[in-house]
Structure 1
Amino acid sequence: MSRATPLNHMPAPAPARSPGDYLERAAWVVLAAMPLALAFAVRSSAALIGVAALLALTGAVTGGRGRALVARAWAGARSLPGAFLPLFAALAAVSLLWHPFPRLGLFAMGEAFAPLVAAVILGLSLGRLQRRAVFILFASLFALACVEVLVELFTGMAWRYAVGMRPALFVLNKPVICFVVLYWPLWSLSEGMPRRGLTMGALGLLMAVAVFKSVSGAAMLALICGGLTFGLARLAPRFAWGLVMAGLFAALALAPLKGDLAQRAVPGWALDRLQALHARDRVEIWQSFGEVVLLQPFTGVGFGVSPKMGDAPVARLIPGEHRTLLAVGHPHDMFLQIWSELGALGALLAAVALAWLGKALLMLRRREELPPALAAISAVIIIAEVGHGAWQGWWLAILGAAAIWFCKSFEAVRYDTAPPSAAGDTLAS
């Protein structure tokens, strides 16, 4: 007759999964699917982060974490980063008082702040991720997204033509921009995984082929700068931090003068050689929007006015050679867009946010956390300097997703690597 197993050696039964747990898992799946979704529907990231936020919030409430969620939200609202978003929204709303096209401003506010609010809700609602499972999911979907973009590039976007679309290659710029930003939080998430170097190296190579096969000069430059920053930060983290922060503040401070500085510093032959990337056009656009800043330096023209800047009253005061390019839709420099739409007030608020970001980076507890974070910021700087409009929802959704992935991956790694007695304190922090 077999001896009965002592009760204290009986395996603990697995906790029952609640509907809230499944909803939270679904939120992680939606968030991980962002690169792949963008490869098929190039503006879908804003919708995805909204769906993920709704799933996570519903999961938190049905899982009995509603009170904790409210407490975290209240604590966050009293902090500097928690106050930044409401202050920025308030400034944008106040700018409607002098906005030449208030309805356009309202639309821009909706497009910009919806994904940002969704990102905040996600950050508050999501619990600690199951790192191994989520990494496998995120890496697999990321690889599939790169493959899909490569298939489109090598087949001349055949499937889109087959379904009656008439796309241009530049529509794939958005997914490759997503790749060069979200690769770095994926690197953080991969810490401690088996064959990490081989897996992330292969994924990085696949991404690089997709990026350099595309027509996105911004993504190419961002990938190069991100990689160089990552390498430098592993060798000299403090120096790399100082370099990235100096770049951020210089980009913000010099934005109104950027066009004139580029015109004087870059030889004409260099602009001609780079004309495939519209280098000369960009310089002239920066000059045009710089003129707007000089005319309305303190308040700007109004939040989100850039798509119709050429029709704004301020355009009539600008010389003809610069007035024409105000109609291009945006200044191709997000820092210059802040200056031209919100003036020195907006730039000051952005400077405060950048200062807080720099301090937060210095407070990262583990040496391994800083290089991928700096690499992602370096890539974002490059895209912001030469890319698209600042308030486009798909772009802000990518930034929000990157911030969530970084925060949750750092939290999970700290918990997984902490001694058992300290794991609770690590997670709480």
Structure 2
Amino acid sequence: MGAEAKLANPAAVAAVVLLGIVAPGLLILASQSTQVTAPAGFVLAAAALAADGRGPELGRSIRAGAATPLGIAFCLLMGWIAVSALWAPRPLYSLGVAGQIALVAATAAVGLAAVPAAAVARAGLWLAAGVTLAAVLAAVELRLDAPLRTLTGAMLSMSRLNHAVIAVAVLVWPAALALSARGWRWAAAGLYALVVAVTLVSVAQASVLGILAGTVAFALAWLLGRAAVWLVTAAMVALVAATPVLMERAGDLIPGALHSVLKASAWERVQIWHRFAEAVSDRWLAGYGLQASRHLAEVRPIELLPAETFNPLTAGHTHNAVLQVWVELGAVGAALLAVVLVLVGRLVAALPGATRAFALAAFASLFAVAYVSHGAWQVWWLATIALVAVWMRVTVREAGSVQAGSPSR
């Protein structure tokens, strides 16, 4: 009876519904809603544990996570982010941003500790349903000229669906794991195909790259086992190290055959990468400070090149999270980021075969999207990363329970 009571905890049920159904689906109408839904779901899960008298257990779990190598490295990165605000162009503004990042990180820590323990039975299936719903709604909006947004009066720009499509493209991996772990491989494949189709008809090119990177990582994990994890992680670390050089030469590295294929917005992004990468060498060790990318045009005036129709440094951010780390946090921040990536890779490598492939796919998808799109500190994106991490932990745990023949919680 005790176990049944815990499973029926209203806060736990509400957390799973909010994180599994509402969080993906609401993005169709409110493009940055994960910055609210994800933290709220994590807090509800913590409330469920507290209501069951497991608050001390939650506290111990959070402290234990912070004491792991990954927890320590992450805390050091968070500390450097906060300290860098002191030499940013607008320190008070940057300190406020550091506070937002810290709040997302804190709720993510709570979620990673609380959600798996508080999850209702078959919670992963709720996520699979939510991702399916979000993908279907996104397809309807994209193909039928936004009927839902017209009905609700929401902003009609199709580009506003980018966040939703990207979130679906990274959440599909834990959702597919939830289905596959129960032997529903055709359902998992169908969900994957649906998400691929949605990304292809959207204007969110980053989502296509995310799906492609995840698919390649998944295939490598099946073929090479744990070696694939270290191969993919090594590639990420190499990209982190080489990003200033690569982005400064981004235009030269794009094959000529692709020049006529890329959209004008893509070429603008190449110009942004080039100009921000140029700035790295001036303050390569500690960077310009948190959120300096937003004000770099004031800090570092440049003479526009003949091909430039705008000042790329006024873009607001680098459209490449790794490059933004280099610009704002310098080599110190980039080194800490690389350590975090290696330690996440170590966690993925420790997983059993099937779950390892899905986890590596999610890891690669998140990195690929971050590498070509969005500001590194946008709260909706940080919350989406936390959502993927928490759901991957939930579905990995469920997969282990199913394989062991015991009921999952």
TM-score, structure 1 normalization: 0.87
Give 1:310's match in structure 2, choosing from 270, 287, 297.
Answer: 297
Residues in 2 aligned to 1:133 and 1:72: alpha-carbon distance in whole angstroms: 22
Alignment partner for residue 247 of structure 2, among 256, 259, 274?
A: 259
User: What displacement does 1:352 show?
Assistant: 1.2
State the partner residue of 1:6: none
Residues 20 and 62 in structure 1, CA contact (< 8 A), matched pair in contact too = no
Q: In 2, Cα distance between the equivalents of 1:165 and 1:350?
A: 37
- RMSD (Å), alpha carbons: 2.5
Q: Find runs of 4+ consecutive structure 1 residues off by over 3 angstroms.
A: 13-16, 127-133, 161-166, 318-323
* 1:348-380 CA-partner distances (Å, limit 9, x unpaired): 11111112122222222x111211112112212
Distance, in Å, in 2 between the alignment partners of 1:245 and 1:90 is: 24
The aligned runs of 1:29-428 (5 Å cut-off) are 29-33=17-21, 34-128=23-117, 133-194=122-183, 196-268=184-256, 270-276=258-264, 278-311=265-298, 313=299, 315-316=300-301, 318-321=302-305, 324-364=311-351, 366-418=352-404
| DSSP-derived class of the 1:118 partner | helix
Tell me, in whole angstroms, the C-alpha distance in 2 between the residues paired with 1:165 and 1:47: 18
The AA in structure 2 aligned to 1:222 is G
Task: Give the residue type in structure 2 aligned to 1:243.
Answer: L
Q: Structure 1's 226 and 76: CA in aligned 2 closer, same or farther, altered over 3 A?
A: closer
> Cα distance, 1:419 vs. partner?
6.8
Contact 1:92 1:109 survives alignment (8 Å): yes
Distance 2:160 2:37 in 1: 18
Q: Distance in 1 between matches of 2:286 and 2:161?
A: 35
User: Counterpart in 2 of 1:10?
Assistant: none
Q: Which has the larger radius of gyration?
A: 1
Structure 1 counterpart of 2:388, one-letter code: A
Note the C-alpha offset of 1:185: 0.9
Q: Which runs of 5+ in 1 are unaligned?
A: 1-12
1:3 maps to: none
Match of 1:25 among 7, 10, 13: 13
Separation in 2, partners of 1:342, 1:81: 19
In structure 2, the CA distance between the partners of 1:378 and 1:74, relative to structure 1 (3 Å rule), is closer
Distance 2:280 2:138 in 1: 38
Q: Kindly tell me: are residues 61 and 128 of structure 1, through their superposed partners in 2, closer, same or farther at Cα, counting changes over 3 Å?
A: closer
Q: Conserved in 2, the CA contact under 8 Å of 1:129 and 1:408?
A: no
- Give the whole-Å Cα distance in 2 for the aligned partners of 1:15 and 1:357: 32
Deviation at 1:248, TM superposition (A): 0.5
SS in 2 for 1:146: helix
Distance 1:20 1:307, change over 3 A: farther
CA distance in 1, matches of 2:76, 2:230: 27
1:261-289 per-residue CA deviation (whole Å, 9 max, x = no partner) reads 3233324553342135x332222111111
CA distance in 1, matches of 2:24, 2:242: 32
Q: CA deviation at 1:208?
A: 1.8
Q: In the alignment, is the contact (CA less than 8 A) between 1:230 and 1:374 conserved in 2?
A: yes
Contact 1:179 1:207 in 2 (8 A): yes
Percent identity between matched residues is 29
1:7 aligns with none
**Does the CA contact (< 8 Å) of 1:20 and 1:60 recur in 2?**
no
Residues 73-120 of structure 1, C-alpha deviations (whole Å, 9 max, x = no match)? 222222222223332222122112211112321232233232222111
Q: Cα deviation per residue 1:149-194 (whole Å; 9 max; x = unaligned)?
A: 1111122123423444443111111111111111111122223425
CA distance in 1, matches of 2:129, 2:353: 27
AA aligned to 1:368 is A
Residues 269, 319 of structure 1: alpha-carbon distance in 2 compared, 3 angstrom cutoff: farther
Q: What do residues 274-320 of structure 1 show as CA deviations (whole Å, max 9, x unaligned)?
A: 135x3322221111111221111011111122222222x2x13x444
Distance 1:123 1:14 in 2: 23
Question: How many residues in Structure 1 have an aligned counterpart in Structure 2?
Answer: 405
Offset of residue 49 of structure 1: 1.2
Structure 2 CA distance for partners of 1:169 and 1:262, relative to 1, 3 Å: same
Shift of residue 397, structure 1, vs aligned partner: 1.1
Q: Secondary structure at the match of 2:180?
A: coil
